[in-house]
Structure 1
Amino acid sequence: MATRVRGFGMDRELERRIKEKYSLEDENELMEWITAVLAEPPESECLTYPEGEGEEHFQAWLKDGAILCELINKLTEKQVCKPHKTANIKLKAMKTNKEMENIGMFLKAAEDYGVKKIDLFQTVCLYERTNLPQVQSTLYKLGSAAQANGYTGPVIGVKVAEKQKRNFEEYKLRQGRAIIGLQMGTNQVASQQGMTPYGLGRQLVYKNSN
């Protein structure tokens, strides 16, 4: 069986559409927010900056997962993630495994923090650069969750609306059950009384002029 070449046909079209969604404006805004959070006292040891602009540099900056882990630690104000230090690991397979574990820890902590599972990116979206726009979207959702959780540092994203739960007294609920909705029928408004029954031929009546 012939091997399907990656980058052709549907795969190529999907890749093109994903790339079109990537935003340099969002990249710069997210970079400024992340570095501002990490610079909050005490300043994080992982505080670095991308070496350039664009998808490649943005991915390289976040790829080992250390910055992401420190970001969620700062937002929660406690160490929920302890990232592996991978800079000195020589064995490529081991380094890859530890970096992906860092990303996985961040995603789990972000979900616990309030980001919905459906809004999280997958590890390969970042590590293999298959869907960086989804990475950007998740980080915005994380910023929204931070505001909802009362984080007082630098913020980004739209604040998540708080749930307004209303409790009605039992007697009010019983009164509501006694009301008949219009969907049940009523004789208090216009009716079809006097109209020609369905299917009956039209009757023409002429008045006697005499």
Structure 2
Amino acid sequence: MGDYRAGKAGINAEAQARIHSKYNNDIAHETLEWIKVITGEPANTAGDADNLYEVLKDGTLLCKLVNALQEGSVKKVNQSTMAFKCMENINAFLEAVKKLGVPAQETFQTIDLWEKQNLYSVVVCLQSLGRKAGNFGKPSIGPKEADKNVREFTEEQLKAGQNVISLQYGTNKGQQSGISFGNKRQM
């Protein structure tokens, strides 16, 4: 879909080049392999940006993925290849992954995938979803998420902590006279 637009120039081209430089073929390949384990698709799991775009651009595989993790996450998957129907699929996927626990900062915007603007953020979102897959009894990818480490303190422990002066507040020991900031006033 990005074929109809003029190329970016100047600072925008530099920014786009920086975004594209973050994309990693190996991580994209690992992500597509994981999707294939969960859904049985796609046949081609090459990690290059063009293949990732072709596999995911209509959003049907993304919807199939979240429905495989949790049945009924996306109620209606559009099979049409019309632009707005495909973008609806991508948006439905994004809403579903937020409900499955993917943080909002690790998702992407529909346009990032549809117009191939930021495939790196698409892979980040899928990797984050892959970490959550273990919660649904499916194989997961990437590093294991940390578990909560909730600590309970007694009232006595909390009161004892109030008497400690942190070193961030400085110290009142030593000579403080003669300390001045900046230049001295010239007369």
- Do the structures match in fold with TM over 0.5? yes
Matched, 1:155 2:140: yes
**Cα pair distance change 1:59/1:122, threshold 3 Å:** same
Query: 1:186 Cα deviation (Å)?
Result: 8.8
Aligned equivalents of 2:12, 2:166: Cα separation in 1:
53
Partner of 1:108: 95
Question: Quick one: structure 1 residues 180 and 79, their matched pair in 2 at CA, closer, same or farther if it must change by over 3 Å?
Answer: closer
Equivalent positions of 1:59-208 (< 5 A) are: 59-76=53-70, 78-81=71-74, 82-86=76-80, 95-147=82-134, 150-177=135-162, 179-181=163-165, 192=174, 198=178
5+ residue gaps, structure 2, are 1-5, 180-187
Q: When the two structures are aligned, how many residues end up with a matched partner? A: 173
Counterpart CA distance in 2 for 1:172 and 1:31 is 50
Give the corresponding residue for 2:35: 34
Q: Distance in 2 between matches of 1:105 and 1:173?
A: 46
Which protein is richer in helix relative to its size? 2
- 2:7 paired residue number: 6
Against the structure 1 CA distance between its residues 101 and 13, is the aligned structure 2 distance closer, same or farther, given a 3 Å change threshold?
Answer: same
The alpha-carbon deviation at position 98 of structure 1 amounts to 0.8
Cα distance in 1 for residues equivalent to 2:47 and 2:16:
20
The equivalent of 1:208 in structure 2 is none
Question: In 1, distance between residues paired with 2:161 and 2:7?
Answer: 61
Letter in 1 for 2:124: S
Is the 1:125–1:131 contact (alpha carbons within 8 Å) kept by the matching residues of 2? yes
Q: Identity over the aligned pairs, expressed in percent? A: 33
- Contact 2:32–2:45 at 8 Å: present in 1 too? no
Decide which structure has the larger Cα Rg and report it: 1
Deviation of 1:10 (Å): 1.4
The 1-side partners of 2:85 and 2:170 are apart by 67
How far did 1:36 drift? 0.1
